[in-house]
Homo-oligomer: A and B are copies of this chain.
Amino acid sequence: MSESAEILCIGTEILLGNIVNTNSQVLSRGLAELGVNVYRHTAVGDNPERLREALDEAFARNDIVITTGGLGPTYDDLSKETIADWFGLPLEMHEPSARAIEAYFGGMKRPMCQSNLKQAMMPRGCTVLENRNGTAPGAIIEGKGKTAIMLPGPPREMTPMFERQVLPYLAKRADHVLRSHCIYFFGIGESTLESQLRGEMQAMKNPTLAPYAKDGEVMLRVTASAPTEAEAERLMEPVIASLRERYPQYIYGVDVDNLQTAAVRVLKDAGLTAAAAESCTGGYIAKRLTDVPGSSEVFGCGAVTYANGAKERLLGVQGSTLARYGAVSPQTAREMADGVRRLSGADIGVSTTGVAGPDGGTDEKPVGLVYVGISSEWLNDVVELRLGRGFDYGEREFIRYLASSHALAQILRAAQSRPE
């Protein structure tokens, strides 16, 4: 039978809205992939009474409670004390953690306070989780038929500790393995894909298939449960193959995370380079590509040409083109893509020009009208997008993000369509 777990995030800064609680998502996603059910998230402040109350409630509903936060060195960080007390365990100095904390401060060349050593006091008999990105160790505490997993609050510390130490621990508890693959789609709407696949998705038991939509993309997650990893993979293979066969034009990768990673990977594999000329996206394409480690091999040059003068000077767009058709036109998009390819010497040039809003729209060229140009020796095209939705909130970011996604998709298209 599947286990269930509850997530309990501790920190007054969460309740005050000073930070977004991203930890709950990271934990939930990992637990979902293991097949551990999560029925509730809770966040409470750094307050021992309210934390105790939330712990009682969570353990009444579940065998496993995962907490984040409250492991800091200051007087108001009381998670560890409260949780150890729930299990009736005293705190003891954990020498390897004390040494690690000293080494951490030594490496940072910063002075260490005595209060930092409070972070090395751990519940007796717990499994200590090493923190390689901060000073607060985590812990797994088993007792009273329950398990508490205490993790630090900062996502940069919590995420690797969870992925590298907690997930393997939880996987070992289970009598089966759960494996999943993520299939990434671009250019097809969630409702379209869901309506085409609804029957199959509802009929499938193992593996399962579930759709997730975000920012103009759809991801299908296929998940299989089996006694061994190899068996789980074998179950998923035909599902992935049949989707690939059915949607070749929409699937941009499996387990690739996002369009920019897929684009960098495909360019590398093909031995090609790309360059971007951006007007309305204003650097978003370049930013996303260079987010990917190692992107320098395939993306050496981008031009952000918001102003018409910059389009002419940097990219060699004709003044007459701008005058006759305007900056937001297929003609300008084409000359921008050609221009940045010439300028950079890259194999593929991509461009965007459009109206990101909120101002600057006209009846003829409304907010959300974007042209994406693609230039290469074997493929030249301009795609017209209508991304305006009439939102009166957040539409500029929406349009800029989607336009950069379409540009990345065009880079993929060009890289994949090169003749042998």
**Interface residues of A, Cβ cutoff 8 Å to B:** 9, 13-22, 24-32, 38-45, 47, 50, 54, 57, 107-108, 132-133, 155-156, 159-160, 212, 214, 276, 278, 281-287, 289-291, 293-296, 299-307, 309-310, 313-314, 343-345, 356-359, 389-394, 396-398, 400
Assembly CA distance A295 to B44 (angstroms): 40
Closest to A391 in B: B133
Q: Given A285-B283, A304-B304, A38 and B15 touching (CB < 8 A)?
A: yes
CB pair B287 A282 closer than 8 Å: yes
CB distance from A405 to the nearest CB of B (A): 14
Chain B residues closer than 8 Å to A301, beta-carbon distance? 303-307, 309-310, 314
CB pair A28 B15 closer than 8 Å: yes
Assembly CA distance A303 to B345 (angstroms): 15
Per CB-CB distance, the 7 closest pairs between chain A and chain B, nearest first, are: A282-B290, A300-B307, A283-B286, A17-B29, A17-B28, A302-B304, A283-B283
- How many subunits of this chain does the assembly comprise? 2
Q: Select one of B14, B39, B214, B398 contacting A28, CB under 8 A.
A: B14
CB distance from A268 to the nearest CB of B (A): 14
CB pair B41 A21 closer than 8 Å: yes
CB pair B32 A54 closer than 8 Å: no
Closest to A18 in B: B212
Assembly CA distance A243 to B42 (angstroms): 37
Q: Given A303-B302, A306-B301, A41 and B28 touching (CB < 8 A)?
A: no
Assembly CA distance A266 to B43 (angstroms): 39
CB pair B283 A290 closer than 8 Å: yes
Q: Given A39-B44, A302-B283, A309-B345, A390 and B107 touching (CB < 8 A)?
A: yes
Q: Select one of B28, B289, B295, B314 contacting A16, CB under 8 A.
A: B28
Chain B residues closer than 8 Å to A344, beta-carbon distance? 310, 313
Q: Given A25-B21, A284-B283, A394 and B156 touching (CB < 8 A)?
A: yes
CB pair B314 A306 closer than 8 Å: no
Q: Could you pull out 21 A-B pairs where Cβ atoms are within 8 angstroms?
A: A14-B41, A15-B38, A16-B29, A16-B32, A17-B24, A18-B29, A20-B24, A39-B47, A39-B50, A282-B286, A282-B290, A283-B287, A283-B304, A286-B304, A293-B358, A293-B359, A296-B306, A302-B302, A309-B345, A313-B343, A314-B314
Assembly CA distance A309 to B294 (angstroms): 17
CB pair A15 B44 closer than 8 Å: no
CB pair A41 B40 closer than 8 Å: no
Q: Given A17-B32, A39-B44, A41-B42, A156 and B283 touching (CB < 8 A)?
A: no
CB pair A214 B39 closer than 8 Å: no
Q: Given A282-B290, A286-B304, A314-B343, A39 and B17 touching (CB < 8 A)?
A: no
CB pair A24 B25 closer than 8 Å: no
Chain B residues closer than 8 Å to A156, beta-carbon distance? 391, 393-394, 398
Chain B residues closer than 8 Å to A27, beta-carbon distance? 17
CB distance from A306 to the nearest CB of B (A): 5
Chain B residues closer than 8 Å to A28, beta-carbon distance? 14-17
Known A-B contacts: A17-B25, A300-B309. Give 9 more (CB < 8 A). Answer: A20-B24, A21-B21, A21-B25, A40-B42, A41-B41, A282-B302, A286-B304, A290-B356, A301-B305
Q: Select one of B43, B44, B278, B393 contacting A159, CB under 8 A.
A: B393
Assembly CA distance A356 to B292 (angstroms): 11
Chain B residues closer than 8 Å to A400, beta-carbon distance? 290-291
Assembly CA distance A3 to B286 (angstroms): 47
Chain B residues closer than 8 Å to A398, beta-carbon distance? 156
Q: Select one of B17, B19, B39, B285 contacting A45, CB under 8 A.
A: B39
CB pair B306 A303 closer than 8 Å: no
Chain B residues closer than 8 Å to A39, beta-carbon distance? 15, 44-45, 47, 50
CB pair A43 B44 closer than 8 Å: no
Assembly CA distance A17 to B14 (angstroms): 18
CB pair B44 A30 closer than 8 Å: no
CB distance from A110 to the nearest CB of B (A): 10
